[in-house]
Amino acid sequence: MRIAIPIFDQLTALDAIGPYEVLSRLPEATVHFIAVEPGPKRSENGMLAVTADLALAELTDPEVIVFPGGFGTRALMRDEAVLAWLRRAHETSTWTTSVCSGALVLAAAGILDGLRATTHWMVLEMLREYGATPTEERVVEHGKVITAAGVSAGIDMALLLAAKLADEDIARAIQLGIEYDPQPPFDSGSVAKAGPETVELVKSLRLG
Amino acid sequence: MRIAIPIFDQLTALDAIGPYEVLSRLPEATVHFIAVEPGPKRSENGMLAVTADLALAELTDPEVIVFPGGFGTRALMRDEAVLAWLRRAHETSTWTTSVCSGALVLAAAGILDGLRATTHWMVLEMLREYGATPTEERVVEHGKVITAAGVSAGIDMALLLAAKLADEDIARAIQLGIEYDPQPPFDSGSVAKAGPETVELVKSLRLG
C-alpha cells in the first residue's frame, strides 16, 4: 500500500509527521513524501527541512493521500500542477485525507464540494468559499474523504485511518507503539476550551 | 534562545518534530537540528529524511537540549563524540531533556545517574543499567533534566517546557496554535490501558 504525503515549502511539519509516524507502522504500507520538485522542503519558520523523495509525477495513483497544511498551502491552491495531480490521484484513491490547512488544497481542487469538512480553526471559514460546510469537529469523515483539524489532529485522524486500512487491533497496537496516551499539562487545545484571551494571544503572536 | 535537537540516522521522527512544533513557536526561540555530520538523516524505516543544518561542534552551548529517540540511539550510546558533546552542553544548559529512547543517550552520558527517569516503555528497564531509576510516568522532571516517555510524549513535555521557558499563557496559546485537543479514537496509549494482547502485537509486529 502506497501512502502519499505531499510536502512543500512553508509546511507545518507536525501535520505531516504525525500521520507518517502512525501510518508508516501499518504492515505492508510505504509512506512516500512527494512534491512538485523532489528535494528538501522548509517549514514555515525555516528551522526544519524535510525531504521529498519523489516528484508528484512519479506517484499518480497512491492508495492513500494525506495532505498536510502550512502557510505554503496558499500558493498550492493556485498551482494547477498540484491541483491536477490531486484530482487525478483522488479518482483512484481509497482514502483522500487532509490535516490542518491541507483541507484548503483539497477544497481548491473541488474535492470538498458540498461536504462537511474541517481544518485549522483560524482558517475554518475559508472552506465555505470553496463550497464546503465548515464544522468544528476534530476529524470529519465523508465517504472516502477525511479532514482533520489543526496540526496535532492528524495523529487522531491517522489512528482512525489505520483501523480502516488494517483493523482496530493493529491501530490500537500502533497507538501503544507511539505511546499516545496524551496528558497535556493544560486544557487549551480548542477555541472553546481556551477562551478569547488565549485566542487573541495566538493571533497577536502568530502562533497558529 | 537556542534549542538544540540532535538528530541521527534511524531516528523516530515524531520524537523530534513534536517538541519542535511546540518550542519553535516560543517568542525569541530558534530550534536547531544538529548532528555529528550535517545533512539529511533517515528515520528508522527509511521513509523520511530530516535535515541537520549544523554540526554538533557548531553549537556547543544551547540553552535547551531535546534529545529524541529511535533505534539509532543504540549507536550513539557508544559514540564518544556525541557523549562528549552532550556532557559539555549539559554543563551550561538551562534544560536538558529527552523523548523516548533519547533518554538512553542521556543515561549513557551519565546525566541520569541517580535520577528517576522515563523512556519508551519497551526499553524502560535499560535505564537501570545506567544508574537511573525507571518510572512509568509520562514526563519526569528532576532539576533541569526532563525525560518524556515514548514518541508522542514529547508534545506533552514540550508544552510543560514552554511554560517554564516563557509562561503558562504562552504555553496555552501554543497548545491552541497546534490545536492539541487530543481525541484518540482508542484508549490504548499505555501498557496498563492497552493490555497484554496489544503489548504482544506491538512486539511481534515491531510497532514500537
pLDDT, tens digit (0-9, with 9 covering 90-100), for B46-61: 999 999 999 999 999 9
Nearest Cα residue in chain A from B138: A183
| Complex-level ipTM beyond the 0.90 threshold | yes
Average pLDDT value for chain A: 97
Number of A–B residue contacts, CB under 8 Å: 244
pTM: 0.97
Q: What is the pLDDT of residue A144?
A: 98
pLDDT band at A205 (very low <50, low <70, confident <90, very high): very high
Mean pLDDT of A198-207: 95
Q: Specify the DSSP class assigned to residue A27.
A: T
Cα angle A77-A80-A86, degrees, rounded to a multiple of 5: 75
pLDDT, tens digit (0-9, with 9 covering 90-100), for B1-53: 999 999 999 999 999 999 999 999 999 999 999 999 999 999 999 999 999 99
Nearest Cα residue in chain A from B47: A31
CB A37 within 8 A of CB A55: yes
pLDDT, tens digit (0-9, with 9 covering 90-100), for A17-38: 999 999 999 999 999 999 999 9
Name all domains of chain B by residue range, CATH numbers in brackets: 2-183 (3.40.50.880)
Q: Which residues pair with A139 in a beta bridge?
A: A148
Q: What is the pLDDT of residue B50?
A: 98
CB A29 within 8 A of CB A105: no
Annotated catalytic residue A204: no
Torsion-angle region of residue A110: left (phi > 0), alpha (psi -120 to 50) or beta?
left
How far apart are the CA of A144 and the nearest CA of chain B, in angstroms? 18
Q: Which residues pair with B96 in a beta bridge?
A: B65, B145
Q: What is the pLDDT of residue A29?
A: 97
pLDDT, tens digit (0-9, with 9 covering 90-100), for A125-135: 999 999 999 99
CA distance A69 to A72: 7
Q: What is the pLDDT of residue A92?
A: 98
CB A192 within 8 A of CB B203: no
Q: What is the largest CA-CA distance in chain B?
A: 46
Q: Pick from A13, A24, A151: which is nearest to B179 by CB?
A: A151
Q: Which residues pair with B98 in a beta bridge?
A: B67, B147
Torsion-angle region of residue B91: left (phi > 0), alpha (psi -120 to 50) or beta?
alpha
Q: How many residues does chain A have?
A: 208
CA distance A77 to B177: 22
Q: What is the pLDDT of residue B80?
A: 96
CA distance A206 to A131: 27
For helices A153-165 and A13-23, the axis angle rounded to 10 degrees is 30
Asked if B178 and A32 come within 8 Å (Cβ–Cβ), the reply is no
pLDDT band at B140 (very low <50, low <70, confident <90, very high): very high
Q: What is the pLDDT of residue A40?
A: 98
For the record, the C-alpha cell of A176 comes out as: 501503544
Q: Specify the DSSP class assigned to residue B199.
A: H
Asked if A175 and B168 come within 8 Å (Cβ–Cβ), the reply is no
Q: What is the pLDDT of residue B6?
A: 98
Put simply, the chain B residues between 60 and 89 with a CB less than 8 A from any chain A CB are none
Q: What is the largest CA-CA distance in chain A?
A: 46
Q: What is the pLDDT of residue B73?
A: 98
CA distance A13 to B182: 18
CB B82 within 8 A of CB B36: yes
Q: Specify the DSSP class assigned to residue B190.
A: S
CA distance B46 to B35: 17
Mean pLDDT of B90-110: 98
Q: What is the pLDDT of residue A87?
A: 98
Q: Specify the DSSP class assigned to residue B56.
A: G
Put simply, the chain A residues between 113 and 142 with a CB less than 8 A from any chain B CB are 120-121, 138-139
Mean pLDDT of B108-123: 97
Asked if A172 and B198 come within 8 Å (Cβ–Cβ), the reply is yes
Mean pLDDT of B107-135: 97
